[in-house]
Structure 1
Amino acid sequence: MTTTVPRKIALVTGAGSGIGRAVTLGLLNDGWSVVLAGRRAEPLQALATEAEARGQSALAVPTDVTVPDSVDALFATVERTHGRLDLLFNNAGVNAPAVPIDELPLEKWFGVMDTNVTGVFLCARAAFGLMRRQSPQGGRIINNGSISAHTPRPFTAPYTASKHAVTGITKALALDGRAFNIVASQIDVGNALTELSERMTRGVLQANGSVAAEPMMEAIHVANAVRHIAAMPLEANILNMTIMASTMPFIGRG
């Protein structure tokens, strides 16, 4: 007599493109059932349909992570559909124009904070609650930070501040989750090639005032790193991981 091992349940925000899409595909290939969240319904549904055609389990749930009611509806759908959540990849994020701070429109500051900080908090909060009350209790939250959580690029105060805040959220989750078998990680990414980052191959403002093209890496390497953390038992954790294009200007004096 054979027994069927139930699929583990993952939720990926910002799943419709870039790193979120790459991570979603990786988790699906690893046998996870994945809930896909993002603001644009079309790419989410296209990805879910693609997965279902391969016999994989995917559910598209259009969501705005900056809106509490939208996040509540997302997690209600997860609980109603699957009864539990084993993994949240908190990935949705936005940037602001690279301009001197006094030239930055305030709405751009609030937009970055709403998505990169409040959105991460709202999703982590809802995941924490579900993981705390489900049986068996526990789960894993992986936050997408950035190399900007360590050091800024020129004219990136909003994004840099938001990613430093994500580090604080991650550490607090890792501490507060101990009593409930909830673990938290942060993956800090440098120069993954996506639709949004392709411009960096043509030139990025450097600390010395020059503009230079930067080395990039494929997003699949980020996906593989997330898959590695996700596959670990809850008794072990990688609290912080930096994954970057090997020769990008992050370490050293370039």
Structure 2
Amino acid sequence: MTAVRTTRTRFTGRTALVTGGGSGLGRAIALAFAAEGANVVVAGRTEATLKETVTLIEEAGGTALAVTADVARSADLAALVAAAVERFGSLDVAVNNAGILRAGQPVADLPEEDWRTMLDINVTGVLLALQAEVGQMRAQSTGGAIVNISSTLGAHTSVAGTAAYGATKAAVSALGRAAAVEHIRDGVRINTVSPGSSDTTMSFRPGETEADRAARVKETNPLGRVSTTGEVAAAVLYLASDESGSVVGADLVIDGGAAA
């Protein structure tokens, strides 16, 4: 994956933090911010993949920092925000993208461990990230913008075998709306992006090839294809930019019309 070069500079001089930035959608978002001039901090649990993202950004002429952190641990998130501010001087944008999907079982057969793990990472992880990020942003005279990554599963649609994941993502959407109202007067603007199937490993069913996925989505999605990671990243950058200055508490669905 390579960064898309652009002449836009909406984030020059700003610091953007992306959790789950070592792969997939998180990496695409990090590259997109870097391409528009941001100093990017990528966080996650796997150091090697985070360093790969940093290398891609630096090879494209950008600046980035990798910080290993578990979003389910408040101490890790406090240290993450502190590292971003120590290196770049501020925290202007945060994208809470880290998440986990464990699917395939109906509610009655869902392993308790899977339920608790998804709650810890997908919901508590977003809450703890918001607390650390808002704490820093409201202490800055410039405030900041936060974008939470939810999903069409949960608040917008449902698929058999994904009840727990959907429940956690519906919680992210609800948490984002509440936090947006509570903290806009602190100078912190919070919104949510809810992707449907996008070009990441999460969009594949067990044993499915890329051709299998394309054939399935062509029949089931109004657009006829999955969203690209670049299309989702573009939505995130819009919500994080000054162009969306009056957008507060929105939940932007990017799914090719599947939940319409």
Q: Could you tell me the TM-score, scaled by structure 2's length?
A: 0.85
Please point out which of 77, 101, 124 is paired with 2:107.
101
Q: Which runs of 5+ in 2 are unaligned?
A: 1-10
1:11 aligns with: 17
Q: Deviations over 1:34-74 (max 9, x none)?
A: 10001111111111122223321100001110112211211
> Distance between the aligned counterparts of 2:173 and 2:202, measured in 1?
23
1:144 aligns with: 149
Would you say how many aligned residue pairs link Structure 1 and Structure 2?
238
User: How far apart are 1:6 and its partner, in Å?
Assistant: 6.0
Q: Could you tell me the TM-score, scaled by structure 1's length?
A: 0.87
Q: Residues 181 and 225 of structure 1: is their aligned pair in 2 closer, same or farther, counting only changes over 3 Å?
A: same
Equivalent residues in 2 for 1:126-145 (5 A)? 126-134=132-140, 136-145=141-150
> Distance between the aligned counterparts of 1:161 and 1:103, measured in 2?
16
What amino acid sits opposite 1:217 in the alignment?
S
1:165 aligns with: 171
2:190 aligns with: 184
Percent identity, aligned pairs only, is 35
**Contact 1:65–1:120, Cα closer than 8 Å, also in 2:** yes
* 1:125 is aligned to 2:108: no
> Distance between the aligned counterparts of 2:242 and 2:151, measured in 1?
22
**Contact 1:95–1:112, Cα closer than 8 Å, also in 2:** yes
2:53 aligns with: 47
> Distance between the aligned counterparts of 1:50 and 1:21, measured in 2?
9
* 1:56 is aligned to 2:62: yes
Q: Deviations over 1:135-178 (max 9, x none)?
A: x2411110001111222211222111111111121111111112
User: How far apart are 1:237 and its partner, in Å?
Assistant: 1.6
1:240 aligns with: 251
What amino acid sits opposite 1:52 in the alignment?
E
Question: Moved runs in structure 1, 4+ residues, more than 4 A?
Answer: none
Q: Residues 213 and 240 of structure 1: is their aligned pair in 2 closer, same or farther, counting only changes over 3 Å?
A: closer
Q: Whose radius of gyration is greater, 1 or 2?
A: 1
Q: Could you say what the CA RMSD is over the residues aligned between the two structures, in angstroms?
A: 2.2
Q: Deviations over 1:85-110 (max 9, x none)?
A: 11111101111222111211100000
> Distance between the aligned counterparts of 2:238 and 2:162, measured in 1?
30
**Contact 2:184–2:190, Cα closer than 8 Å, also in 1:** no
